[in-house]
Every structure is written in C-alpha cells, then in structure tokens.
Amino acid sequence: MERLNSKLYLQNCYIMKENERLRKKAQLLNQENQALLSELKQKLSKGNQKANNASNPNTFLDLSLSSSSSQNPSSSTN
C-alpha cells in the first residue's frame, strides 16, 4: 500500500510539474499572440487610413478634373 502511495505521489508531482511548464508556455504564447494582434491592428489601421485618403472624393475629383481639362482642349481643336 505504501509503495502504491509513493508511486501515486511521484506521478502527482510529475503532473504538477508538467502542468506548471505548460502554464508558463501558455502565458508566453498568449503574450506573443497579443503582440501580434496589436501589430496587425496597427497595420490594418494604417491601411484603412491610406484607403480612406485614396478614396476621398475630393482627391479623385481633382485628379479627374485635371486630366479631363488637359484632354478637352486638344480634342476640341480637332
């Protein structure tokens, strides 16, 4: 009986040690995941800002007006 208790005790110690190792690994993975998520959010935010600036109607309007105004005089003279 004592032998069985000793064996179970050692197994329990091993399980607790393994549990602690896995807990630390999970914490590190969580920290890495949070850092990557933060980096992704920053990149997406910058990408959205660029897209918003590019899709600004005034920007497109200015570009189209300047390109069409330079083309109209040459086509009207023909």
Q: What is the pLDDT of residues 2-28, one digit of tens each?
A: 999 999 999 999 999 999 999 999 999
Q: What is the mean pLDDT of the chain?
A: 81
Does residue 4 lie in a domain region? yes
Segment among 23-27, 43-47, 54-58, 63-67 with least mean pLDDT: 63-67
Q: Which amino acid is at 5?
A: N
Does residue 77 lie in a domain region? no
Does residue 63 lie in a domain region? no
Does residue 57 lie in a domain region? no
Domain count, the chain: 1
Full-model pTM: 0.55
pLDDT (mean) for 29-57: 88
Does residue 58 lie in a domain region? no
Q: Which domain holds residue 3?
A: 1-48
8 A C-beta contact, residue 59 and residue 53: yes
Does residue 18 lie in a domain region? yes
Does residue 16 lie in a domain region? yes
* CB proximity list for 59: less than 8 A, separation 6 or greater: 53
